[in-house]
């Protein structure tokens, strides 16, 4: 008897991008932010939250002068009312409002600011019982309104007062202020929704026979091959000789950044004596384990972090040395790294700008792109932009200003630029401020990476046993990794699942088939439907 032949069709259909169920939370988190200076401010987010008269439509009702200053009501030519802090002689003299904070609650903050002349850094501060909490900062200008977005977490319940401060003694204009509370459960729910929208896709698989009839009860398994989420960590030269270190790292991370081994003082400790032995070996280890590498770094603007022989070089010799350095390191690893920290920490430091001029960083980025013309991202790597709202030098607005300077002076730099945010977090990071800073930076429309963590082995002990922090990272990895799924098709031959972006091995078996069949499919970002059809003769 001739064996019957069945044609097995496997249809992989993307249903939708993002959440499968619309949120039922009373308030969505407002991810919007503005990096434009506008003629008039936008309406306050969340209607002002817990603040009264947030848009000053009722004059100064609910608002007071802070720091023995004086405030007045003013109106724009378009009829918009706002508050003005007048005749300021102290940084803290401004408009304020008293509120009552609830313990263990996240508060997101926003405000629109303007100054009477020039430009000024402005910080939002919440005065609590016994403390002054920095909640965010921005750059206010004369002639237009700028948005400040920040936040804080209340450590305890009690009275508080929101105000603004600036070292500039210009008049400070304030409008459309908001302070919106979220419980931690609400915050977590918003995070989960964001994860589903950005990192997951609902998919449907259909199994049919050669005649197009659905196969009910087909067994389906989805095994994760790899996730698309680029989670990494710093790695040191000690990984080359420590097998436990190698196993621990390679089993967790998809991206590595060399701690010091690629930096100039490591590869050229004396003039003309280059040695890439260690970073070459580390690169080989990464490649053999499928780990991508970020190039860290080409230059570091901090004076104390230059090779000793570089620090005192006169201009001509420094220019020659810097030119040799960028050609050497970028050319050597071009096409092998996924990104370069071209100039590290050039908001806080200016070693090269001080010697070559204000556009030194622009020239370095242009040179790096010419030397590595592939797809590597070119990062501007900086600390305190996302983790310290009190550092006025590294505010998101300051970061974006510097980024724009680098691009404006040489527009070709705009291709492949990326934002690198060093995560030098303290024991209790300001979660609402972090999210607000990311909201602001995201307006640049380029990739944003968190790039550094603590300065010591903070995830494991010396035997690579997890510390509590390591357990947190492992839970995060487990959350992001594409976990295996299994089930069976329904009466119409369908099987549905919500999966994180990544590559999967799909295996299907059915009593009508002599054997199971497997195919590799990818779940990727995109709003359109992706179809994967497999025709197997058995």
Domain's final residue, options 396, 431, 449:
449
Same domain? For 217 and 168 the reply is no
User: Residue 436 and residue 431: Cα distance in Å, rounded?
Assistant: 9
Residues 6+ positions from 506 with CB-CB distance below 8 Å:
10, 12, 205, 220, 221, 222, 518, 519, 520, 521
Same domain? For 178 and 199 the reply is no
User: Residue 164 and residue 59: Cα distance in Å, rounded?
Assistant: 18
Under DSSP, the state recorded for 88 is -
Same domain? For 176 and 311 the reply is no
Residues involved in catalysis? 345, 452
The predicted pLDDT at position 455 comes to: 67
User: Residue 265 and residue 158: Cα distance in Å, rounded?
Assistant: 51
Please say whether the beta carbons of 393 and 347 come within 8 A. Answer: yes
Domain's final residue, options 148, 182, 216:
182
Please say whether the beta carbons of 510 and 218 come within 8 A. Answer: yes
With respect to residue 244, please indicate whether it lies within any of the assigned structural domains.
no
Same domain? For 408 and 523 the reply is no
DSSP one-letter string for 505-519: EEEEE-TTSSS-EEE
The predicted pLDDT at position 24 comes to: 53
Can you tell me which residue has the tokens 């990192």? 199
Please say whether the beta carbons of 222 and 486 come within 8 A. Answer: yes
Q: Which helix (H) or strand (E) holds 242?
A: none
Which of 10, 524, 482, 5 lies closest to 220 in space, CA to CA? Answer: 10
Same domain? For 115 and 142 the reply is yes
Same domain? For 348 and 393 the reply is yes
Which residue range(s) make up the domain with 531? 195-225+484-537
**Alpha-carbon radius of gyration of the chain:** 28
With respect to residue 144, please indicate whether it lies within any of the assigned structural domains.
yes
**pTM, whole model, 2 decimals?**
0.90
User: 10 Å Cβ neighbour count for 441?
Assistant: 21
With respect to residue 467, please indicate whether it lies within any of the assigned structural domains.
no
Same domain? For 375 and 500 the reply is no
Same domain? For 143 and 81 the reply is yes
User: Residue 61 and residue 78: Cα distance in Å, rounded?
Assistant: 21
The predicted pLDDT at position 482 comes to: 62
The predicted pLDDT at position 483 comes to: 64
The predicted pLDDT at position 511 comes to: 83
| Beta strand spans in 249-291 (E) | 255-258
Can you tell me which residue has the tokens 């550092």? 391
The predicted pLDDT at position 102 comes to: 97
Under DSSP, the state recorded for 102 is P
Same domain? For 334 and 443 the reply is yes
Number of domains in the chain: 3
Give the tokens for residue 6.
């069945």
Cβ density class 395-411: b for 16+ within 10 Å, e for less:
bbbbbbebbeebbeeee
Which of 383, 183, 204, 181 lies closest to 301 in space, CA to CA? Answer: 383
Q: Which helix (H) or strand (E) holds 332?
A: helix 315-333
User: Residue 261 and residue 240: Cα distance in Å, rounded?
Assistant: 12
Q: Which helix (H) or strand (E) holds 300?
A: strand 292-300
With respect to residue 472, please indicate whether it lies within any of the assigned structural domains.
no
Same domain? For 335 and 431 the reply is yes
Same domain? For 302 and 440 the reply is yes
With respect to residue 478, please indicate whether it lies within any of the assigned structural domains.
no
Read off the CATH number of the domain in which 212 is found: 2.60.40.10
Read off the CATH number of the domain in which 105 is found: 2.60.120.260
Chunked mean pLDDT (size 10), the chain, 538 residues: 38 46 67 96 98 98 96 95 97 97 97 97 96 96 98 96 97 98 95 86 83 88 84 93 96 94 98 97 97 97 97 96 98 98 97 96 94 95 94 96 90 84 84 97 95 80 92 86 80 88 88 81 68 40
The alpha-helical segments, DSSP class H, found in 176-242 are 184-199
Under DSSP, the state recorded for 348 is T
Same domain? For 498 and 421 the reply is no
User: Residue 442 and residue 423: Cα distance in Å, rounded?
Assistant: 17
């Amino acid at each position: 008897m001739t064996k019957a032949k069945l044609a097995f069709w496997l249809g992989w259909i993307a249903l939708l991008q993002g959440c499968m169920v619309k949120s039922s939370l009373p308030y969505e988190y407002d991810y919007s932010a503005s990096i434009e200076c506008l003629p008039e401010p936008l309406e306050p987010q969340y209607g002002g939250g817990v603040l009264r008269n947030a848009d000053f439509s009722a004059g100064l009702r609910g608002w007071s002068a802070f720091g023995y200053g004086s405030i007045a009501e003013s109106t724009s030519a378009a009829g918009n009312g706002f508050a003005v802090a007048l005749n300021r002689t102290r940084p803290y003299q401004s408009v304020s409002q008293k509120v009552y904070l609830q313990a263990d609650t996240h508060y997101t903050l926003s405000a629109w600011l303007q100054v009477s002349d020039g430009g000024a850094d402005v910080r939002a501060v919440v005065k609590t019982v016994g403390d002054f909490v920095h909640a965010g900062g921005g750059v206010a200008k004369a002639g237009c309104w700028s948005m400040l977005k920040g936040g804080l977490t209340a450590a305890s319940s009690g009275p508080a007062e929101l105000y603004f401060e600036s070292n500039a003694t210009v008049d400070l204009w304030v409008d459309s202020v908001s302070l919106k509370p979220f419980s931690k459960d609400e915050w977590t729910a918003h995070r989960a929704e964001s994860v589903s929208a950005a990192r997951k896709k609902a998919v449907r698989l259909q199994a049919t026979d050669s005649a197009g009839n659905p196969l009910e009860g087909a067994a389906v398994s989805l095994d994760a091959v790899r996730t698309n989420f680029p989670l990494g960590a710093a790695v040191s030269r000690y990984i080359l000789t420590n097998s436990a270190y190698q196993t621990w790292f390679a089993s967790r991370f998809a991206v590595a950044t060399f701690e010091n081994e690629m930096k100039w003082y490591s590869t050229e400790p004396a003039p003309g004596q280059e040695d890439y032995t260690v970073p070459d070996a580390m690169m080989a280890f990464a490649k053999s384990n499928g780990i991508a590498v970020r190039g860290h770094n080409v230059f570091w603007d901090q004076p104390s972090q230059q090779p000793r022989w570089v620090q005192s070089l006169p201009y001509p010799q420094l220019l020659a040395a810097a030119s040799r350095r960028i050609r050497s390191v970028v050319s050597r690893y071009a096409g092998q790294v996924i990104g370069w920290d071209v100039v590290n920490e050039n908001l806080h430091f200016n070693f090269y700008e001080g010697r070559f001029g204000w556009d030194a960083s622009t020239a370095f980025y242009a040179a790096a792109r010419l030397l590595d013309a592939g797809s590597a991202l070119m990062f501007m790597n900086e600390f305190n932009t996302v983790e310290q709202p009190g550092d006025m030098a590294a505010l998101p607005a300051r970061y974006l200003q510097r980024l724009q300077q680098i691009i404006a002076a040489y527009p070709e730099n705009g291709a492949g630029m990326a934002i690198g945010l060093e995560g030098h977090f303290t024991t209790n990071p300001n979660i609402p401020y972090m999210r607000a800073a990311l909201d602001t930076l995201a307006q640049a429309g380029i990739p944003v990476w968190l790039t550094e963590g603590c300065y010591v082995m903070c995830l494991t002990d010396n035997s690579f046993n997890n510390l509590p922090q390591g357990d947190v990272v492992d839970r995060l990895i487990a959350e992001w990794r594409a976990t295996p799924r299994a089930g069976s098709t329904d009466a119409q031959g369908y099987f549905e699942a919500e999966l994180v972006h990544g590559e999967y091995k799909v295996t299907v078996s059915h009593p009508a088939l002599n054997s199971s069949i497997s195919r590799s499919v990818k779940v990727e970002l995109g709003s359109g439907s992706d179809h994967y059809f497999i025709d197997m003769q058995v």
